[in-house]
């Protein structure tokens, strides 16, 4: 079954439900129409129906099922009611066209209600060829074993990750373990999770065999500005999580020093290879605005931040190809300030070396030399090694285009930096400049070698392309 987002409209005011559903239909259509060949979430509407008895609130009116069905949505009805049959909830939901009816295991006459629903389902199938999905929901404290003996009577298991009755609650962390267990125990059932799901924790649930994810506030709160963006983010995240997890984690953990005391300490690898992340970012970047990358930059997962860096790199390259100079200037400034607002998340050498030449380097090249030096000053003096490193690797773009002044300016400023990561980068830049300006690089090394010994990594990388005699003759050890 296609993974789906089941959008809960619980937190909406009644009167805004019809307009919201129409708007949501449009936004879902927009996502589906994106010409990017990744599997996107299928979108359905989740009706949280309450009787102020089983839970102390009233939920959504069943009436609105008709509106959702008229808009072509699949409807999933979550009955948080003590008496689904006697109080006519089942009857009405079926009459209004629901595709799925979910009752709670904890209601008094659970067994008889479940059998009634089962018969109803058979009848609808026989008489109208209508497929009604029967779901059973359990509260956080209910054990999934309790449902085992009924498993042939229902096809969906809805696991509450919050206490039923309210939207906008916090995801109960140990639900994740329960989802794993449920997946194993109910192999052929639809597993659905409901409550407190957002960008941060959705990764856990989709990686533990969940088929359907109920999302309420993450999509309905301030939906005028966030609805499309958050829906898009969830689809981008899904496409990342759909990638194979075949990265050599132990090797890359060392390479990125994601170890105690290492410069990558505390980072987390998902296990997705760089080529896979790159090819996905190369697909997605044209369909997303920079701010969609926010949550990916903020992510504790390394590959999520890498995805964001590659998207921004591609966006800047696109901007450079714009014919309209005014537009180019405006878009490059916007993208650059967005890059700077997320700079603290670019916190390992694979991230800096991806984004700095493409975003910082290309942006500086659009500025006057004075302006570029002004911008670079705060990078050079930063205590953050990654920010200093970005100022150096950004110069590779200058050097590749044959420019030498800014590269020499930066290399001079950071020539005696105590960090090897900076020394290596300075060496690379000088090596790159050497390709077009050999004499100047030799002069640079010789003239700066007097005061203090140039760090050996600078020398070894900078002189890599030099002939033996050049090395020996000019560059003192």
State how far the Cα of 276 lies from the Cα of 435, in Å rounded to an integer.
Answer: 32
Site string for ligand DX5, 40-59 (x = CB under 6 A): ------x-x-----------
Only segment of 58-66, 72-80, 89-97, 465-473 that touches Zn ion (CB under 5 A): 72-80
Q: Which is nearer to ligand DX5, 175 or 239 (CB)?
A: 175
**Min separation Cβ 57 and ligand DX5, Å:** 8
Considering the complex, state which of residue 164 and residue 361 has its C-beta at the smaller distance from ligand DX5: 164
Q: How far is the C-alpha of 440 from the C-alpha of 433, rounded, in Å?
A: 9
For residue 358, the tally of other CB atoms under 10 A from its CB is 24
Is the separation of the CB atoms in 108 and 87 below 8 Å? no
Pick the piece of the chain touching Zn ion (CB under 5 A) from 62-70, 74-82, 315-323, 324-332.
74-82
For Zn ion, the closer CB: 78 or 413: 78
97: nearest Cα among 120, 79, 116, 74: 74
Closest CA to 165 of 29, 35, 8, 23: 8
- Sign of torsion over alpha carbons 45, 51, 57, 63: positive
- Taking the least distance from each CB to ligand DX5, the nearer of 102 and 352 is 102
Q: Quick one: which of 194, 211, 354, 417 contacts Zn ion (CB under 5 A)?
A: 194
Nearest CA to 283 out of 242, 330, 249, 327 is that of 242
Which of Zn ion, ligand DX5, none does residue 167 bind (CB under 5 to 8 Å by kind)?
ligand DX5
Binding mask 70-109 for ligand DX5 (x = CB under 6 A): --------x-x-----------------------------
Smallest gap, in angstroms, from Cβ of residue 430 to ligand DX5?
A: 54
For the chain, how many residues are written? 477
Nearer to ligand DX5, 80 or 356 (CB): 80
CB 353, min distance to ligand DX5, A: 39
Closest CA to 296 of 217, 379, 232: 232
Residue 165 vs 290, nearer CB to Zn ion: 165
Spatial CB neighbours of 255, under 8 Å, sequence gap ≥ 6:
none
Q: Is 78 in the site for Zn ion (CB under 5 A)?
A: yes
Which range, of 33-41, 211-219, 445-453, 454-462, touches ligand DX5 by CB under 6 A? 211-219
Window 212-251: residues binding ligand DX5 (CB under 6 A): 214-218
Q: Which of 168, 209, 262, 438 binds ligand DX5 (CB under 6 A)?
A: 168
CB of 224 to Zn ion, least distance (A): 23
Task: Provide the minimum distance between the beta carbon of 91 and ligand DX5 in the complex, in angstroms, as a whole number.
Answer: 22
CB 355 within 8 Å of CB 313: yes
Total residues contacting ligand DX5 by CB under 6 A comes to: 22
Nearest approach, Cβ of 182 to ligand DX5 (angstroms)?
17
- Which residue lies nearest Zn ion, judged by its C-beta? 78
Decide the pairing of beta strands 4-8 and 212-215: parallel
- Residue 34 sits at the vertex; the CA angle it makes with 33 and 40, to the nearest 5 degrees, is 90
Residue closer to Zn ion by CB (options 76, 354) is: 76
Evaluate the CA torsion angle 253, 39, 77, 144 in order and state its sign: negative
Which single residue is written with the structure tokens 């089941």?
A: 6
- The residues, any chain, with a CB within 8 Å of residue 342's CB and separated by 6 or more, are 293, 294, 297, 308
CB of 32 to ligand DX5, least distance (A): 22
Q: Please give the helix or strand (H or E) that residue 328 lies within, else none.
A: helix 325-341
Distance in angstroms (rounded) separating the CA atoms of residues 82 and 105? 10
Q: Which residues contact 406 (CB under 8 A, 6 or more apart)?
A: 364, 369, 372, 373, 376, 395, 398
* Residue 234 · residue 215 · CB < 8 Å: yes
- The three-state secondary structure class of 97 is coil
- In the region spanning residues 116 to 155, those forming contacts with ligand DX5, defined by CB under 6 A, are none
Could you tell me the smallest distance in angstroms from the CB atom of residue 214 to Zn ion?
5
C-beta of 78: minimal distance to Zn ion in Å? 4
Q: Can you tell me which of 109, 169, 176, 257 binds ligand DX5, judged by CB under 6 A?
A: 169
Measured from each CB, the residue nearest to ligand DX5 is 216
- Min dist CB 48 to Zn ion, Å, is 4
What are residue 103's DSSP bridge partners? 136
- Residue ranges that bind Zn ion, judged by CB under 5 A: 48, 78, 194
The residues binding ligand DX5 (CB under 6 A) are 8, 10, 46, 48, 78, 80, 162, 164-169, 194-197, 214-218
């Amino acid at each position: 079954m296609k993974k789906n987002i089941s959008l809960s409209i619980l937190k909406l005011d009644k009167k805004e439900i019809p307009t919201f559903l129409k708007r949501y239909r449009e936004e879902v259509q927009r996502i589906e129409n994106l010409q990017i060949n990744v599997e996107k979430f299928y979108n359905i509407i989740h009706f949280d129906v309450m009787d102020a008895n089983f839970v102390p609130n009233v939920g959504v009116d069943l009436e609105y099922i008709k509106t959702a069905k008229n808009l072509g949505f699949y409807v999933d009805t979550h009955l948080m009611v003590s008496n689904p049959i006697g109080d006519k909830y089942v009857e009405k939901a079926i009459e209004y066209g629901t595709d799925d009816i979910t009752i709670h295991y904890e209601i008094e006459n659970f067994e008889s209600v479940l059998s009634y629903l089962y018969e109803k389902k058979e009848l609808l199938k026989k008489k109208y060829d209508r497929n009604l999905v029967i779901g059973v929901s359990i509260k956080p404290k209910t054990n999934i074993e309790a449902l085992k003996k009924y498993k042939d009577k229902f096809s969906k298991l809805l696991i509450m990750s919050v206490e039923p009755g309210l939207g906008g609650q916090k995801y109960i962390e140990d639900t994740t373990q329960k989802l794993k267990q449920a997946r194993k125990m109910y192999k052929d059932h639809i597993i659905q999770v409901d409550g407190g799901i957002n960008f941060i924790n959705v990764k856990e649930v989709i990686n533990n065999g969940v088929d359907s994810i109920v999302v309420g506030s993450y999509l309905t709160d301030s939906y005028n500005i966030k609805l499309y963006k958050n829906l898009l983010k969830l689809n981008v995240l899904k496409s990342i999580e759909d990638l194979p997890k075949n990265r050599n984690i132990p090797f890359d953990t060392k390479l990125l020093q994601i170890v105690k005391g290492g410069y990558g300490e505390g980072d987390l690898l998902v296990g997705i290879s760089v080529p896979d992340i790159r090819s996905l970012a190369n697909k997605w970047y044209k369909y997303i605005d920079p701010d969609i990358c926010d949550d990916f930059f903020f992510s504790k997962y390394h590959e999520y931040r890498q995805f964001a860096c590659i998207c921004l790199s591609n966006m800047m390259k696109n901007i450079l190809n714009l014919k309209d100079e005014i537009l180019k200037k405006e878009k490059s400034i916007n993208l650059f300030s967005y890059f700077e607002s997320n700079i603290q998340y670019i916190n390992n050498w694979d991230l800096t070396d991806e984004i700095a030449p493409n975003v910082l380097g290309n942006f500086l090249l659009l500025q006057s030399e004075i302006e570029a030096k002004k911008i670079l000053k705060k990078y050079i003096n930063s205590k953050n090694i990654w920010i200093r490193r970005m100022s150096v690797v950004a110069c590779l773009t200058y050097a590749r285009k044959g420019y030498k002044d800014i590269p020499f300016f930066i290399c001079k400023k950071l020539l005696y930096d105590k960090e090897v990561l900076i020394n290596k980068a300075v060496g690379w830049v000088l090596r790159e400049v050497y390709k077009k300006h050999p004499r100047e690089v030799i002069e640079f090394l010789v003239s700066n070698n007097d005061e203090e010994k140039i760090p050996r990594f600078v020398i070894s990388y900078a002189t890599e392309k030099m002939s033996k005699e050049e090395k020996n003759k000019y560059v003192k050890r």
